[in-house]
Structure 1
């Protein structure tokens, strides 16, 4: 038996469909980012600014560019798996994908919206576990898709440590 082409979905989809799907994955991630950013903006300049933070807290200006790159990597990762399998043939991995995006957005509501570091900490611990599971599931389908989620997992691991420190200090 010959090896299938790199992109299993490709024979059933044309170039325009593949480009539209990439744009759809990007738009989905940008919508999640925009909603999270809007919630964050409600208390980042007052409540969050007044919190005690650990010495390793990055400067505020760093968060937006890091998250922008990470969201594009999340979108590209999902698109690559879609190219390989479609969504119907990877319901488990795409269920994890949807769950990590939902938990990511929920963190903004819990930490900044509810102004609750402990709720944020609970969410981010679960989020990190789901990202790792998603990374593994995607890796099994497309190695690059799994690798693209590694910076996300590392950043959220750091965010978990930061969230825990903020909870502890306040």
Structure 2
């Protein structure tokens, strides 16, 4: 599966870069009986529209038809990563400093595996968050290798 994603990333990256967009994420998943190739793109300033997605989809479809790296039938979807954009690359984390995020860890840290709060710092070693636990705000340090999932989050308590 990762070979397919690596091949697709090689095909979509030049298209996205030519359009001055950013490849945020991609996935190839089976849902029910159908396979989906999902490409998530954004502008570098954050704010993608349907025309951007359609243009990437058209150009990528042409390339995929020629190269045909996926054996089974699938649906191609090109869209925005949405308000809860995943944080995967170094640049994603760096842009998210000062923003409200959600993090899930592989194993408990201070007895918890899920954290929501402000990302206050990011480095090669990991990230620091300010989280609210009941009525207290505390700083939490999370090593990068312990992070299973990280994404921007909507703060409903603000």
The TM-score normalised by the length of structure 1 is 0.25
> Counting helix residues as a fraction of each chain, which structure ranks higher?
1
Q: With CA pairs under 8 Å and 6+ residues apart, which has the higher RCO, 1 or 2?
A: 1
> Counting strand residues as a fraction of each chain, which structure ranks higher?
2
